[in-house]
Structure formats: C-alpha cells, structure tokens
Amino acid sequence: MASLARGGYNIVISAGFLLADATEDVADQFPSTKFAITDQSVGALKRKHANIEGLTYATQENSYLVGCLAAKAAAKRGTKIISATAGLKIPPVDTFLAGYKAGANKCVPGTQVLFGYSGTFIDQAACKTIATNQIDAGSQVVFAVAGPCGLGALDAAKERSRWGVGVDVDQSYLGSHILTSAVKRVDVGIFLAVKNAKQGKYKGGKDVVYNLKNNGVALGKVSKSVPKAWITQVNKLKAQIIAGKIKPPKLVP
C-alpha cells in the first residue's frame, strides 16, 4: 500500500477487515492519498482518518433470506436443524451468521442453527470436517461462510446428500445440491469507490453501505426444486427489509 501511495495512485483499496491496521498506518503516512477498505467500518478503526472510506456490506440482509429458505428446506425433510461452517470469528463473518439464524427462525420458528469456525479461509479439509460433524448432528443445510475453505463444507454437503449454500459469489455452478448463495457484490463496491473518487464524490472518513436496496448484496440462483410459494415469501421479506420494516441483526445472539 505504501508503494502504491508513493507511486501516485489516486485511490488505494485494501481487501478486508484483516488489513485495517495496515491501512490506518499507511493512510497516516500519506494523508493526500485516498484509501478505501472493504468489510471495515471507519467507526471501528483505532483513529479517525479523513482519507479512509469504509466499504461495508449488509450481508445480514441477504443471509436473512438464505436462512428462511434453509429452514424451510430442512423442515420439508422433517427436521429443524441447519448449520453454517465459518472461517475466522470476525465481524464480517458473524454478520452473515446473524442474519442466517434470524431468517431461519422467522420462517420456521424453533429452527436449531449450528455454527462452527474452522479458523481458516483456506484449508478445505478443516471446513469439510466441521460440516461433516454438523451433518452428523442432523443439519440438512450447510451454509459455507469461509471463502475457499468453504468449498470443503459444500463438498461434504454434496457427499451426504444435503443442501449447500454458497457465499460471496453465486456458487450454483458447483451442482444441484446448492440451494442458493449469499452474494456479496464486492465488485460493485470497488467499482463505485473508484468511480466516485474520479468524480469527486469520495467519502473519506465515512462508510458506504451496500445492501439489498442498492443491490450490493443479493441471493444467487435459487434451486429449481424450491417451491414458488417459498420464493414469494422470500420476496416479501426482501421488500420488508428494503422498506426498513424488518432489520436483520448484525450480531450473533
């Protein structure tokens, strides 16, 4: 980041919560350079910076819709147990989980949601082990919130004939076992951050929030086997979230 700032780039974007400290340090060194960071609110930084913009994603919103579908899919199979295999226990991950659990209990009250953290975003075997244990405990749907590690969890779901839910991008390409995906449009956030900086609309010291309303988060392709009535219910919930009538939680209870 320091090298890019020295090189005279107009805006430097760091990818993710884990780079917050480094972003702050470099932003202090180069106050005339614009910085932006994904998955990090400027309010959570250690210091105030007029040259850092937070690119945040309301993934509790689309995960709420995922939770609804997952709970209904589990109930159809005669149980009320679903799960999520997560990577590190950090706020951007827990936001997904909070919405997932809330949405599940909205649509199927009493649904049990199992959580497990692999401690990695890379090791697929670690995620596969956690997902397998969750399936052994009765989970009918596995939500993978762990980056590449999550591919192991989705593989476990496929092997055990359970539903899998993708994350960040539409992972329906992995097979017919994918119920849907909680899509986070990081591409939109990055594009708009660059565009706004170019047009003089950079919001240093503030957050830009991407949500269902501005299509910053969304559902991926939904399995063709999902009943139309479920889709109708999810669309109604989506409209209520956009209208502010439902406010999915950001923190796991």
Question: Mind listing the pLDDT tens digit of every residue in the chain (253 residues)?
Answer: 999 999 999 999 999 889 999 999 999 999 999 999 999 999 999 999 999 999 999 999 999 999 999 999 999 999 999 999 999 999 999 999 999 999 999 999 999 999 999 999 999 999 999 999 999 999 999 999 999 999 999 999 999 999 999 999 999 999 999 999 999 999 989 999 999 999 999 999 999 999 999 999 999 999 999 999 999 999 999 999 999 999 999 998 7
What CATH topology corresponds to 2-57+185-210?
A: Rossmann fold (3.40.50)
For the chain, count helices (H), then strands (E): 8, 10
> Distance (Å, rounded) from C-alpha 251 to C-alpha 234?
21
The DSSP letter of residue 221 is P
Residue 39 neighbours by CB under 8 Å, 6+ apart: 16, 17, 55, 56, 57, 91, 92
Order of strands, sheet of 81-86, starting from the edge strand that comes earlier in the sequence: 112-117, 81-86, 141-145, 163-168, 178-184, 217-219
Does the CA dihedral 250-234-117-25 come out positive or negative?
negative
Q: What is the structure's pLDDT at 252?
A: 87
Position of tokens 């975003």?
Answer: 121
Position of tokens 């591919």?
Answer: 151
Q: What is the structure's pLDDT at 253?
A: 73
> Distance (Å, rounded) from C-alpha 41 to C-alpha 61?
17
Q: Give the SS3 label for residue 184.
A: strand
Task: Looking at the structure, give the CATH architecture of the domain made up of residues 59-184+223-242.
Answer: 3-Layer(aba) Sandwich (3.40)
> Distance (Å, rounded) from C-alpha 225 to C-alpha 227?
6
- Residues carrying CATH 3.40.50.2300, the chain: 2-57+185-210, 59-184+223-242
